[in-house]
């Protein structure tokens, strides 16, 4: 379990000074119930494509702060619950030079860089084994590629509709003689 209180008074280097709370501080605020998960997600999604190192840093900060999971902790979700959570995820990917991925589901937020990863919930976090982190990075990339393909198909369909609509309306215009 992530121990948020241990870091709430420190600011990380995830963001330059003067730009607000760090990613770690936003995560801690969310888990302590004084912040909003959407604010953390918004900050993460506003990072530019070349800022994956900040996501990697957040993963390391969370993993360095993890305490052993208490024996009375909630049991892990069933495979069906986990599958449902993953199917509902939205994704964001930061490409090279510092690859990282984000999956946001109804109840979890997953951060991965392909080598390390963590599952973050409102009440704690768990470290992912390297093989799972790699698989989740591929899932992030697959979701993005699928969305781009759907967007391209939709764009093509809309362009074809526009061409058809223009050619129909243009054919109604009488030529000048």
Per-residue model confidence (pLDDT) at position 17: 42
Tokens of 90: 């939205």
How many angstroms separate the CA atoms of 68 and 65, rounded? 10
On the question of pLDDT at 23 being above 90, the answer is yes
On the question of pLDDT at 99 being above 80, the answer is yes
The dihedral over CA atoms of 62, 73, 92, 34, expressed in degrees to the nearest 10, equals -70
Per-residue model confidence (pLDDT) at position 157: 87
How many angstroms separate the CA atoms of 42 and 48, rounded? 12
Model pTM score: 0.75
Beta strands in the chain (DSSP E): 90-94, 100-104, 109-112, 117-121, 124-128
Asked if residue 99 lies in contact with residue 34, where contact means CB atoms within 8 angstroms, the answer is no
How many angstroms separate the CA atoms of 165 and 153, rounded? 18
Per-residue model confidence (pLDDT) at position 14: 43
Average pLDDT, the chain: 83
On the question of pLDDT at 48 being above 50, the answer is yes
- The string of pLDDT tens digits covering residues 127-163 is 999 999 999 999 999 999 998 888 888 888 888 887 7
How many angstroms separate the CA atoms of 121 and 115, rounded? 20
On the question of pLDDT at 18 being above 60, the answer is no
């Amino acid at each position: 379990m992530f121990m948020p209180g241990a870091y709430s008074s420190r600011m990380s280097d995830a963001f330059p000074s003067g730009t607000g709370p760090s990613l770690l501080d936003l995560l801690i605020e969310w888990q302590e119930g004084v912040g909003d998960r959407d604010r953390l997600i918004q900050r993460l999604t506003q990072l530019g494509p070349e800022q994956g190192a900040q996501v990697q840093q957040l993963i390391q900060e969370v993993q360095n702060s993890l305490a052993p999971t208490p024996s009375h902790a909630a049991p892990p979700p069933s495979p069906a619950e986990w599958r449902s959570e993953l199917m509902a995820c939205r994704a964001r990917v930061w490409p090279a030079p510092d690859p990282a991925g984000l999956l946001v589901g109804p109840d979890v937020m997953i951060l991965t860089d392909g080598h390390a990863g963590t599952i973050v919930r409102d009440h704690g976090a768990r470290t992912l084994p390297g093989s799972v982190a790699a698989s989740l990075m591929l899932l992030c990339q697959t979701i993005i590629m699928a969305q781009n393909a759907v967007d391209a198909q939709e764009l093509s369909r809309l362009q074809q509709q526009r061409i058809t609509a223009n050619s129909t309306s243009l054919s109604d215009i009488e030529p000048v003689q």
